[in-house]
């Protein structure tokens, strides 16, 4: 299973369809061995069984099935559903095919309008075959998976206050600020802040800030417009030697490795 969704690449799209079912709609033991499936309930309701679990799918919900995953479903007789389905393939950066992703089978989305527009646009692009339609659809799938990952993280971590902290750190990453300040933004005590921030991000606030700074430094180095000393100052480091050590600690290589040749 691939747990790091940031490493995946949407390699190709099999199809994008929209279907309006009726009260008799039903499918049993459907399996697609060639593609991942990501399905959006536009309206109505359906009942599904997959992986030994039964669940109800209603307007705004997104279902996800890995390659070869068996699933069965039937429409609500009084309110049959209308849905979009997109089929796609994934590979890793080294070109290796990926057959399983750690995406929940069912997500109750928090902003149905965004998902509706994403699917509507993919359906249009796939149907018209305009220039770049395949690229647009792959970009749509990438955004869908990213949003699903974040939705489920927020659901399990209850992270709205920590998200405010992360946004603050991103906007003020060149500044120095105390844990007390971050705890105030998160509406928790300092001692509690250490735990909830690590639960949300998997790292300390200090490491999170350094990651932001070094990510920014990489982009500046690759632009070729500044030297290492300038970039150290632009990313919040007053000591170029400390900057270089931190850069290598996080990336595994010195800053000079990112300078265009």
Taking only the tens place, the pLDDT of each residue in 59-70 is 999 999 999 999
The tokens describing 52, both together, are 């030994």
* DSSP H or E stretch at residue 28: strand 26-30
Listing DSSP states for 102-170 in one string gives ---SEEE-S-HHHHHHHHHHHHHHHHHT-TTHHHHHHHHHHHHHHHHHHHHHHHHH--HHHHHHHHHHH
Residues 6+ apart with CB under 8 A from 139: 10
- CATH 2.60.120.280, domain 5-157, yes or no: yes
pLDDT at 154: 56
Residues 6+ apart with CB under 8 A from 148: 62, 64, 103, 104, 107
pLDDT at 160: 60
Q: Dihedral, CA atoms, 106, 150, 110, 169, nearest 10 degrees?
A: 170
Distance CA 76, CA 11 (A): 35
Domain boundaries in the chain? Answer: 5-157, 160-258
Q: Is the pLDDT of residue 56 over 80?
A: yes
Distance CA 118, CA 261 (A): 39
Minimal CA–CA distance to 14: which of 122, 166, 144?
122
What mean pLDDT value characterizes the chain? 90
The tokens describing 120, both together, are 């509507």
Q: What is the mean pLDDT of residues 69-83?
A: 95
In this prediction, residue 3 has a pLDDT band, given cuts at 50, 70 and 90, of very low
Taking only the tens place, the pLDDT of each residue in 122-179 is 999 999 999 999 999 999 999 999 888 887 765 544 556 888 899 999 999 999 889 9
Taking only the tens place, the pLDDT of each residue in 212-247 is 999 999 999 998 889 999 999 999 999 999 999 999
The tokens describing 116, both together, are 């509706």
Distance CA 64, CA 105 (A): 5
Q: Say which CATH superfamily domain 160-258 falls into.
A: Homeodomain-like (1.10.10.60)
pLDDT at 189: 87
Minimal CA–CA distance to 50: which of 69, 36, 35?
69
The tokens describing 156, both together, are 């399990």
């Amino acid at each position: 299973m691939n747990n790091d969704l940031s490493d995946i690449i949407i390699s190709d799209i099999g199809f994008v369809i929209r279907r309006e079912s009726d009260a008799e709609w039903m499918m049993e033991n459907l399996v697609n061995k060639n593609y991942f499936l990501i399905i959006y309930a536009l309206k109505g309701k359906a009942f599904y069984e997959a992986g030994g679990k039964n669940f109800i799918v209603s307007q705004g919900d997104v279902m996800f099935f890995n390659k070869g995953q068996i699933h069965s479903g039937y429409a609500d007789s009084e309110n049959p559903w209308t849905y979009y389905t997109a089929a796609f393939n994934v590979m890793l950066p080294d070109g290796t095919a990926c057959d399983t992703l750690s995406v929940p089978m069912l997500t109750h989305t928090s902003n149905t309008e965004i998902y509706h527009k994403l699917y509507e646009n993919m359906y249009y692009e796939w149907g018209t075959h305009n220039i770049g339609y395949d690229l647009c659809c792959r970009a749509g799938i990438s955004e869908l998976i990213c949003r699903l990952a974040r939705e489920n993280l927020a659901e399990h971590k209850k992270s709205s206050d920590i998200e405010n902290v992360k946004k603050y750190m991103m906007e003020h990453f060149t500044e120095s600020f105390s844990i007390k300040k971050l705890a105030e933004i998160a509406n928790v005590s300092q001692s509690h802040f250490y735990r909830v921030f690590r639960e949300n991000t998997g790292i300390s606030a200090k490491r999170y800030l350094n990651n932001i700074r070094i990510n920014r430094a990489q982009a500046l180095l690759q632009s070729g417009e500044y030297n290492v000393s300038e970039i150290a100052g632009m990313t919040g480091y007053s000591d170029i030697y400390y900057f270089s050590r931190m850069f290598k600690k996080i990336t595994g290589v010195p800053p000079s490795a990112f300078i265009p040749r």
